[in-house]
Amino acid sequence: MEEQQKTEDSALNKEDTDTLHVDQILRALNPRGRYQILHIILVYLSVPSTGFQLFSNVFIAKSIPHRCAGPPESSGWSDIFSDTGNLTIVQDKCKLILTDNSSVLDSASCVYGNEYQLPADSSVISQFDLVCEMDWLARLSQTMVIVGQGIGAVLNTFLSDRFGRKTVLVSSSFGLLGCGLVVAYAPNAIVFVVFKFLIGGFQQGVVSVKTTFILEILPMEYRAAQSWLTGCNWAIGVMLLAVIAFFFKHFSWRSLQTALSLASLVGILQLCFMDESLRWLIMNGKTKQAQKVIRRISRMNKKSEVTILEQFQEEFVLRKSDGVNDSKRSSKCIGEERPKRLSFLDILKVKRLLFNSVCLWFCWFTAALSFFTIYLTATSLSGDPYLNFGLTALMELPCNVFFFFCLNRMGRKRCLQTVFAVMGTGVVLAGMFKKFEESKSMFSVFTLLASLTAMCGASGCFTLVFSYTPEMFPTNLRSQAIGVCSFFSRIGGMLGPFAGLLAEEAVWAPGVTMGICACVACLLIQFLPETAKRELPQTIADVQAWFKSDQDNGQDKSRHIRPELDPIIDPNSSKPV
């Protein structure tokens, strides 16, 4: 057993020496320079379009008051009812009813179509007559978006790890643009539903990859900013959807969908001005491209590219040459040894990665289940749909303020446990107060406050799991890990609408169910590694080293920083970076 353990430790240390600590290079290049600011802006400009396409059905497929249409002027009711006489015909929502005073004598379907209180092009519902026996098709369109998200999360993140972050991000932005425009001018409901599915896939290409990209261009001390910046950016984007929809409320749904789709034109800017992730280029042996990116960062941030490239080469040579004699060392250069390709199967094979993944899958599932359930069952905040939607999105901001002050101080684990606890407490109290509402209406205020509290917690859960997950997986598995986690969250999202059916049987049941899930999630999070003060892992060995070092002395040995290389010296300063 001892010999086997020594062999495993030797293999671990050998693989770990292959790790290039990119954070040191990023610090030397100035992580707060113009280059990073430009790329963060370009990435975040694509976030509002993802919210637009996810929730666009709220406005383009809004319900329109309707009733069965009457017969044409040239004909009468005799085509439907053989004898009307002095009887009354009621044009109901989904059927024509023949009555004698208050007695129903006969009924028939809407054979003459439907009449709507607004013009037919006000909504997809009225445009394609998706009412009565066809209303399921309107609901299916939103369900297909979520199904598309699940498939797109897995597929796009796999492609991102293989072909690069920028490639998938830009392609997904153009995919959202094209599919969104097809939806806007769909000739029938079938085309509408099919392209809604494709929109879900491309939407996840942007959402999942942008998180990884931002994390990889920043060193560890700045990664916390990604969480609250993303959360605020998402909330503002969703609120902006309500504003745009309000200004287009007198136009057709096709005009609104076109306007929302044009937000994806940001893909042109990304194509022209964005670079590939430096960390991904290094890990995948893209030598020339990595050097080109370093030169561009140096120019934009006004750093000495010669000095930094020398530091870059020196660190790589020393880290890749353990056990190699000096004559061979001199011939080594960056990118000669191509790293092993990793896939989802590696997550299943490595026990530590698998355990982390299972814990995260449940957390993502719970976050999505609670988020969509609260959106669908929360007490209405206003009779106006635009104000109601905007205020609901506004409730996603408080947790991001909490992350701004506490994410680095408290750490990822404690912050995530806190927001899960807030969400769980909120949904349980909302369910209890809703039960009391049946006897005393005064509890409606408490139900509202509890629901808003739960929404704050649920949005915080979703925001933080997106940031925490990629921090504990190696570079060539990072996007795939997010994709698989996102797939499990879509299962929770698809179950969310059924919470209303459960509430009809027991109004407290959805809250208690989600509260229990939140408690289990808090327990599982306790077994996950803290990533707040650790560099992003490059290899599987880096992740394993975290746990090995914790078991030894409680010290973080995962970085294995050589004294002669840590810290890198800023070429424009005599002080360490």
Query: pLDDT tens digit string along 209-259?
Result: 888 898 888 888 887 787 788 888 888 988 899 899 999 988 999 999 999
Residue span of the structural domain in which 362 resides:
348-558
Task: Compare 344 and 333 and report the one with higher pLDDT.
Answer: 344
Q: Is 351 exposed, middle or buried (0-12, 13-18, 19+ CB in 10 A)?
A: exposed
Give the pLDDT of residue 331: 36
- Reported confidence tier of residue 86, pLDDT bands at 50, 70, 90: low
Q: Are strands 114-116 and 103-108 parallel, antiparallel or unpaired?
A: unpaired
Does a structural domain hold residue 92? Answer: no
Specify the range with the lowest mean pLDDT, choosing from 23-37, 385-399, 447-461. 385-399
Distance, in Å, from the CA atom of 59 to the CA atom of 258, rounded to the nearest integer, reads 13
pLDDT score of 414 more than 50: yes
* Shared-domain flag, residues 274 and 392: no
| E-state strands within 159-268 | none
Does a structural domain hold residue 73? Answer: no
- Domain boundary among the residues 267, 284, 301 is at 284
Nearest to 423 by CA among 404, 450, 405: 450
- Reported confidence tier of residue 567, pLDDT bands at 50, 70, 90: very low
pLDDT score of 431 more than 60: yes
* Shared-domain flag, residues 355 and 482: yes
Give the pLDDT of residue 358: 92
Percent of the chain with pLDDT over 70: 79
- Reported confidence tier of residue 525, pLDDT bands at 50, 70, 90: very high
pLDDT tens-digit map of 269-307 = 999 999 999 888 888 888 788 888 988 999 898 887 777
Give the pLDDT of residue 322: 44
Does a structural domain hold residue 130? Answer: yes
* Shared-domain flag, residues 275 and 368: no
* Shared-domain flag, residues 278 and 368: no
553: phi then psi, degrees, rounded to nearest 5: -130, 5
Does a structural domain hold residue 197? Answer: yes
Q: Which residues contact 42 (CB under 8 A, 6 or more apart)?
A: 266, 269, 270, 273, 274
Q: Token pair of 265, please?
A: 């034109």
* Shared-domain flag, residues 406 and 497: yes
Give the pLDDT of residue 259: 95
Q: Token pair of 114, please?
A: 């439907």
* Shared-domain flag, residues 251 and 368: no
Q: How many domains does the chain contain in total?
A: 2
- State the chain's mean pLDDT as an integer: 79
Q: Which residues contact 312 (CB under 8 A, 6 or more apart)?
A: 25, 291, 294, 334
Does a structural domain hold residue 536? Answer: yes
- Reported confidence tier of residue 78, pLDDT bands at 50, 70, 90: low
Q: What is the mean pLDDT of residues 183-212?
A: 92
Nearest to 433 by CA among 421, 420, 450: 450
Distance, in Å, from the CA atom of 218 to the CA atom of 231, rounded to the nearest integer, reads 17
* Shared-domain flag, residues 240 and 387: no
Give the pLDDT of residue 176: 95
Task: Compare 79 and 136 and report the one with higher pLDDT.
Answer: 136
Distance, in Å, from the CA atom of 340 to the CA atom of 285, rounded to the nearest integer, reads 10
Distance, in Å, from the CA atom of 207 to the CA atom of 169, rounded to the nearest integer, reads 9
Distance, in Å, from the CA atom of 464 to the CA atom of 399, rounded to the nearest integer, reads 10
* Shared-domain flag, residues 276 and 393: no
* Shared-domain flag, residues 48 and 153: yes
Give the pLDDT of residue 559: 41
Residue-wise burial string across 282-296, b where 16 or more C-beta atoms lie within 10 A, e elsewhere? bbbebeebbbebbee
Give the pLDDT of residue 258: 96
Does a structural domain hold residue 11? Answer: no
Q: Residue 102, CB half-sphere, CA atoms under 13 Å: how many?
A: 0
pLDDT score of 16 more than 70: no
Q: What is the mean pLDDT of residues 540-550?
A: 75
* Shared-domain flag, residues 537 and 465: yes
Specify the range with the lowest mean pLDDT, choosing from 187-201, 253-267, 479-493, 533-547. 533-547
pLDDT score of 530 more than 80: yes
Give the pLDDT of residue 311: 64
Q: Token pair of 75, please?
A: 């004909």
User: For residue 455, what is the domain's CATH number?
Assistant: 1.20.1250.20
Does a structural domain hold residue 97? Answer: no
Would residue 534 be called left, alpha or beta, if left means φ above 0 and alpha means ψ between -120 and 50 degrees? beta
Does a structural domain hold residue 398? Answer: yes
Task: Compare 435 and 216 and report the one with higher pLDDT.
Answer: 216
* Shared-domain flag, residues 264 and 357: no
pLDDT score of 341 more than 70: no
Specify the range with the lowest mean pLDDT, choosing from 29-33, 234-238, 348-352. 348-352
pTM of the model: 0.74
Side by side, which strands form the sheet with 96-100? 88-91, 96-100, 103-108
- Domain boundary among the residues 268, 284, 300 is at 284
Distance, in Å, from the CA atom of 2 to the CA atom of 455, rounded to the nearest integer, reads 51
Specify the range with the lowest mean pLDDT, choosing from 51-55, 75-79, 368-372. 75-79
- Reported confidence tier of residue 550, pLDDT bands at 50, 70, 90: low
Which residues is 67 bridged to in the sheet? 115
* Shared-domain flag, residues 185 and 278: yes
- Amino acid symbol at 109: S
Give the pLDDT of residue 524: 95
Asked if omega into 470 is within 30° of 0 (cis), the reply is no
pLDDT score of 325 more than 50: no
Give the pLDDT of residue 497: 65
